[in-house]
Structure 1
């Protein structure tokens, strides 16, 4: 019996040792780069980095390109495509850092942290810019509608008053009749509507000053309050027209700010992809996700100025 118990005990100990054997840590295995990733998912797996070094890498990139170049390259590529490519480039880079020993030269972990941070900032700016465009369009539409309503009221009131005066009050030989006829004509612009409403208000005021017309006008309800209303409608139309119905209101985020952030994220992507491609050329078994329309910039070994200058031609063989 003792031998049997010993054997069971030995078996249990061995099983316990096998059970407590440590599984590979998450950092010791690669990532499935065949699936789509998000920046939030990548951030959870990033190795720890120094904030000071991340900031230094960012500033170095910004200095290397300069503001104007970042804006130029950012304006060339669509924000949506940059945001679509960034997470899987980060996943490929993180996979390389985990599986290659030594890690690819030039692939600083700070670049991955920077891609996540600046990519998220790009998404925020893009969303704010798109919302701003909608707000601007809505404000302009609101101004136009308000001007249209005010102009319509002014035209309608001055026409009703002018027609009534011409038909029922003003003498046939009065010079006011010709004025009223012109004032009640079509007014295609806001300024024309304002002028015609003020003309009718002035004529009504002049008629009310004549004792011959005062009692008649009072009977019709064409009193001083109506004179004031016509002028108020003219003033409101003039005010709304003066604000510039189609004038773009002040904007907090301009296209340049969005383009610069596009350019900064592109610069980070280029630095990461460049290091991965160099590792591939040296035999590293890693793959890169599709870069889509960004490939023309991201995988280019030359910057825009070099592209413009062209390569030196080799001398012809003699």
Structure 2
């Protein structure tokens, strides 16, 4: 037998107050005398009453929910930023709804619509690469949103992040400063991956500033899979390219490259230097510890929550585009260039 839901009337009867008083206790608790509020709250706890959300929304105009749209939660930095963001909003009484589109445009549109239909008060969207239909939907529905790990030179979209190209020029400056002149780039997947494309463009730009032409770079695009990266490294080494430094698109790619070089009998950084991007936990724990760009996921989470709250409150702030300086962290995986690498 299916039990009936506890009703507002039952709560009122147990507390010895009117139904309207129970409603006020749920929607506007500060409007009640503390003794009355306690009676109602005790009755709610005793009956395990759960207020009907649509009714609360009609009264307040808010759902106290925030949507997060991510490509994946398998990325450590995304997970850290999401955890930070959720913690910030949880303290304010919000519930966070997390969804992943895994890189599919149709899936992203579907989950965006689902979150908006559920009346989320704001959206945090990871990444800068989105179909124009996504932005059209957000603007038509007037839902506050922030793009995380993004910058927008057009000034249209609220963003929190740093300049990916600038970050890669710092890596290029560091490696050239160590005497490296021949480079391979493992950017990850390129087609449909704007972040990988931006980092590759930044590498090219940074090296061009030192007179190293793009045409001389050895580029090996791969999936975000260690086995694919290791295969690319074997191809690179077998090609006898003279490369002395490998620039990886993220720390996982860099770690796989270090592992494969070691398997092929090459010491990092004594014989080849390798850089990452992101400063994941493994960057500090692996041997050699990884030279990389610190992607401050905690900071991105905090700034995103502040940005969204400002929009939701209608507070006027100087800018909805928040950008900070990327930081190069030099560790053990890079060293002075040696004789050009030929073959293991």
Same fold (TM over 0.5): no
Q: Which has the higher strand share?
A: 2
Higher relative contact order (CA 8 A, sep 6+): 1
Q: Which has the higher helix share?
A: 1
User: Normalised by the size of structure 2, how large is the TM-score?
Assistant: 0.24
- Greater C-alpha Rg: 1
